[in-house]
Amino acid sequence: MSAVLTIESLGQQGDGFARTEAGPVHVPLTLPGERIRADTKGSRGRLVELVERSPDRVDAPCPHFGRCGGCELQHADDRLYAAFKRDRVVTAFRREGLTLDVEDLVRCPRGSRRRAVFSAVRAGPRVLFGFHEANSNRVAPIETCLIAVPAIVRALPELATLAPILIDRKRELRLTVTAAENGLDVAVEAAADLNARNRLSAIEHAVAAGWTRLTIDGEIAVQSAPPQILFDGIAVEPPPGAFLQAVAESEAAMARLVVEHLRPARAVADLFSGVGTFAARLARDHAVHAVESDAAALTSLDRAQRTPQGLKAITIERRDLFRRPLTIRELNRFGGVVFDPPRAGAEAVSRELSQSEVPLVAAVSCNPTTLARDARLLIDGGYRLKRIVPIDQFLWTHHVEVVALFER
């Protein structure tokens, strides 16, 4: 069904929102104030024609924009883009009854994403390598990427050539590529059952490309040197495919806020610590207890602290914090706590913290909705929210990172 619509606002996913007699419609690649012609089906629409263009619209710089689903907002100017991301945080906290001062968005530059996940699928005799299209299982082939660091962009031809060597006949191949300090770390998932010839071919390909490490379904195929990630100069060797903050500059901005907030504390706990994004930095001045469910991540952090780097003691604990959060008694050992959970948030942890005596809490989240819920619990338990800082590290998408700082 074709209709002329007026876009009123941006939805939470960065798509345009319009009202119709049949109900609300969301149309990607549109901006507030625009009149458009769209093909609609239910609550979704597809842009067919711009009838009236927004003054906030700019020409998207990437040749793949509109097909590749990696970016959603390249067509919005900087002012609208930054306001949208800040407003996502404001709206999430307002829904929890919290009307608070949210600071301006801390920006990240183009070409700064050091970790990217690519997909490859068979399409008849061809193998398509790239990113998923928006809201689709189809893969859009790419030749460049404006958000990735140059080292990853330069490696796109080699990565695309590796895919046919390892791809399964039916399953989608996933390649997680991390730009470490000393080269690219490539972790492949869902590869075909390899014979000796294919495995050797993949190893030779990685060596010729100069990659630091190639891992195939959790097994290191070849490694020229342990890949290194630096946390404020502290070297950590991440396990294959490990979670890392996507942009080093954004990570540093988050870490500065957390470290400065927790500076008065003697001992601190880092919950959902991962490989030590915050724990390693905090250990310069504090005794740190790092808690994480991923054994490989904890092993990497433990190995890092055993290398002479001038750090105070880091104790580690493997624990599922969703099922078994630190108790009030355990928390009261610490003068400060930082938590950085997955998108589901840290509800169980926040409930315990809300009844604790911990003076300082720093919360980091990639999901404003669950962070606002957790903040409500802390505030109801007697904490005061000092700062809310939105930080961009998923450039031209609707995603936004947030740091919230609390004190008793």
Catalytic residue flag (residue 366): yes
Same domain, 222 and 297: no
Write down the pLDDT at residue 308. Answer: 78
What are the binding residues for S-adenosyl-L-methionine? 245, 272, 292, 340
Cβ atoms 270, 288 nearer than 8 A:
yes
Give a yes or no: residue 308 inside a domain.
Answer: yes
Write down the pLDDT at residue 15. Answer: 95
Domain CATH for 219: 2.40.50.1070
Burial of 220 (0-12, 13-18, 19+ CB in 10 A): exposed
Whether the pLDDT of residue 362 is over 80: the answer is yes
Give a yes or no: residue 77 inside a domain.
Answer: no
Count of CB atoms within 10 A of residue 260's CB?
Answer: 11
User: What's the CA gap between 166 and 201, in Å, rounded?
Assistant: 9
Residue 172 DSSP label: P
Same domain, 121 and 187: yes
Write down the pLDDT at residue 244. Answer: 94
pLDDT per residue as tens digits for the range 176-187: 999 999 999 999
Write down the pLDDT at residue 286. Answer: 96
Residues 6 or more apart whose Cβ sits within 8 Å of residue 49? 36, 37
Average pLDDT over residues 356-379: 98
Q: How many domains does the chain have?
A: 3
Write down the pLDDT at residue 276. Answer: 97
Write down the pLDDT at residue 325. Answer: 98
pLDDT per residue as tens digits for the range 186-204: 999 999 999 999 999 999 9
Q: Which of 71-75, 100-104, 237-241, 304-308 has the weakest average pLDDT?
A: 304-308
- SS3 percent helix, strand, coil of the chain, rounded to 5, is 25, 35, 40
Same domain, 347 and 200: no
Average pLDDT over residues 347-369: 98
Same domain, 252 and 393: yes
Count of CB atoms within 10 A of residue 59's CB?
Answer: 7
E strand spans, 202-339? 213-216, 219-223, 229-231, 234-236, 267-271, 287-292, 314-318, 336-339
User: What's the CA gap between 1 and 39, in Å, rounded?
Assistant: 5
Write down the pLDDT at residue 339. Answer: 98
Write down the pLDDT at residue 317. Answer: 98
Same domain, 278 and 375: yes
Residues 6 or more apart whose Cβ sits within 8 Å of residue 196? none
Burial of 26 (0-12, 13-18, 19+ CB in 10 A): buried
Supply 177's token pair: 């590529």
User: What's the CA gap between 226 and 217, in Å, rounded?
Assistant: 18
Burial of 77 (0-12, 13-18, 19+ CB in 10 A): middle
Cβ atoms 196, 204 nearer than 8 A:
no
Average pLDDT over residues 56-62: 97
Buried b (16+ CB within 10 A) or exposed e, 171-194: ebbebbbbbbeebbbbbbbbbbeb
Same domain, 309 and 394: yes
pLDDT per residue as tens digits for the range 25-57: 999 999 999 999 999 988 999 999 999 999 999
- Tokens 């169980």 correspond to 348
Range of the domain at 15: 2-57
Instruction: Give the helix/strand (H/E) hosting 372.
Output: helix 368-380
Same domain, 251 and 390: yes
Q: Report the candidate in 51, 50, 107, 92 with the shortest Cα–Cα distance to residue 75.
A: 50
Cβ atoms 388, 85 nearer than 8 A:
no
Give a yes or no: residue 330 inside a domain.
Answer: yes
Count of CB atoms within 10 A of residue 246's CB?
Answer: 22
Q: Report the candidate in 29, 35, 27 with the shortest Cα–Cα distance to residue 65.
A: 29
User: What's the CA gap between 108 and 112, in Å, rounded?
Assistant: 7
Same domain, 203 and 307: no
pLDDT per residue as tens digits for the range 134-162: 878 899 999 999 999 999 999 999 999 99
pLDDT per residue as tens digits for the range 225-280: 999 999 999 999 999 989 999 999 999 999 999 999 999 999 999 999 999 999 99
At 17, the pLDDT band (50, 70, 90 cuts) reads very high
Give a yes or no: residue 234 inside a domain.
Answer: no
Same domain, 222 and 338: no
User: What's the CA gap between 195 and 265, in Å, rounded?
Assistant: 55
Whether the pLDDT of residue 371 is over 80: the answer is yes
Average pLDDT over residues 126-136: 91
User: What's the CA gap between 287 and 266, in Å, rounded?
Assistant: 7
Domain CATH for 268: 3.40.50.150
Write down the pLDDT at residue 191. Answer: 96
Write down the pLDDT at residue 3. Answer: 86
pLDDT per residue as tens digits for the range 375-399: 999 999 999 999 999 999 999 999 9
Q: Which of 214-228, 296-310, 313-327 has the weakest average pLDDT?
A: 296-310
Write down the pLDDT at residue 119. Answer: 97
Write down the pLDDT at residue 307. Answer: 85
Same domain, 255 and 364: yes
Same domain, 222 and 265: no
Percent of the chain residues topping a pLDDT of 70: 100
In DSSP terms, 382 is beta-bridged to: none
Same domain, 123 and 268: no
Write down the pLDDT at residue 53. Answer: 96
- Show which of 195, 229, 263 is a domain's final residue: 229
Helix (H, G, I), strand (E, B) or coil at 304: helix
Stated pTM of the model: 0.94
Strands 267-271 and 336-339: what pairing?
parallel
At 306, the pLDDT band (50, 70, 90 cuts) reads confident
Write down the pLDDT at residue 310. Answer: 85
